[in-house]
Amino acid sequence: MDITAAVVDEVGGPFHLRTVTLDAPDPDEVLLEIAGVGLCHTDLAAKDGHLPFPLPGVFGHEGSGTVLRVGSAVTKVAPGDNVVLSFHSCGQCTQCKTGAPAYCLQFMPLNFGGARPDGRATLHAGDTSLGSEFFGQSSFGTHALAHERNVVKVPDDAPLEILGPLGCGIQTGAGAVLNSLDCPPGSSILVLGGGSVGLSAVMAAAARGLSTILVLEPHEARRALALELGATHALDPADGPLPEQVRAILPEGVDHAIDTTGLVTVLEAAVQSLAQRGKVGIIGVPSDPTAALPVGLIQAQMIGLTVVGIVEGDSDPDVFIPELLELHRSGRFPIEKLITTAPFTEINEAVERQARGEAVKIVLTHR
């Protein structure tokens, strides 16, 4: 079928809205009409060449929508179901079989390969195959193909248009607290960065009952929002060295830290802010793929440091997204406070707005 999609022609180039052809679903695939799709840093990192993906191509990996057709082998969803799209995984490797699909051995080819596993693209412009299957969906379009493994059915009364970020950014931040670090109630956490991932971590920490929730964020409006969402302290990097600010509040240091910035200097400061046996979780994608965190070996031993790399919040989307929706239903996880909607046709303007810090998370809609 012919659809409208946002195509990127070259590394660093803008999005161009074009009519392209989307394949019919294979046996394990699901055809959807997209209601909304989040604009995520990972989309832009791949567009700008920091993550691998073939161009010209179509990004988008925080989609939500309604099922139109299903392949012959699909039993999980049916036409008419509302779904959230998440990352793709093989379902066969050790990690998938033990409930850790975010660490699937085929994660990179399935999510960044730009084609089906057999090399066939799902999107075409005339005779040209486009980079497709981004996170198993390429949902920057009016319609998308996903797979049975990376669609999650949601209730009909859920706010479908804004749910797409649950499939990546929101579940990543929340999962870092609830799954990856499994922060116990009453403990403390430092969240580095007040974007959608960081603020999702704040909401999860508040829902879990952490006693002290600190956020480091340069934008005043985001600091205010962090406090509204449950942070106990909002720190401005301009107010002095991070370890001094943290230890003025918690003299022994903070139990956990989560970095969403991808900045080595920020991570180094976070390590210096940790308490004995502190844990730091790394989420942010650095602009330099060779970036490394220098950690003193003696220091790491003396404080019992734990460094945890985090992908997708250690989430099994089929399990975790319904849990987050239940928290939202109970009023303890107000994702709508993070989200600004914008017309899909304004995708390039939305990129600029998000870069300027005018919105925490923009969801592009087709209404």
pLDDT at 357: 86
Q: Compute the average pLDDT of residues 5-13.
A: 97
Q: Say how many Å lie between the first and final Cα of the chain, rounded.
A: 20
pLDDT at 12: 94
pLDDT tens digits, 237-293: 999 999 999 999 999 999 999 999 999 999 999 999 999 999 999 999 887 888 999
- What are the angstrom distances between the C-alpha of 43 and each of 18, 58, 137, 294? 18, 10, 12, 28
Percent of the chain at pLDDT > 70 equals 100
Helix axis angle for 242-249 and 264-272, nearest 10°, is 30
- Residues 288 and 49 sit within 8 Å (Cβ to Cβ): no
Alpha helix segments (H runs only) across 213-316: 220-228, 242-249, 264-272, 297-303
* Res. 127 pLDDT band, cuts 50 70 90: very high
pTM for the predicted model, two decimal places: 0.95
pLDDT tens digits, 71-92: 999 999 999 999 999 999 999 9
CATH number for 172-311 (one of 3.20.20.140, 3.40.50.720, 3.40.462.40, 3.90.1150.10): it is: 3.40.50.720
Most confident of 42-51, 290-299, 333-342: 333-342
Q: What is the CATH number of domain 2-167+334-365?
A: 3.90.180.10
pLDDT tens digits, 225-240: 999 999 999 999 999 9
Q: Compute the average pLDDT of residues 100-113.
A: 97
Domain locations in the chain as residue ranges: 2-167+334-365, 172-311
pLDDT > 80? residue 38: yes
Q: How far apart are CA 222 and CA 345, in angstroms?
A: 26
pLDDT > 80? residue 367: no
Q: Compute the average pLDDT of residues 80-105.
A: 98
pLDDT > 90? residue 31: yes
Q: How far apart are CA 86 and CA 60, in angstroms?
A: 10
3-state helix, strand, coil in the chain (%, to 5): 35, 25, 40
Mean pLDDT over the full length of the chain: 96
pLDDT at 287: 78
pLDDT > 90? residue 50: no
* Res. 110 pLDDT band, cuts 50 70 90: very high
Q: What is the DSSP letter of 179?
A: I
- Residues 164 and 99 sit within 8 Å (Cβ to Cβ): no
Q: Is 281 helix (H, G, I), strand (E, B) or coil?
A: strand
Estimate to the nearest angstrom the gap between the alpha carbon of 118 and the chain centroid: 27
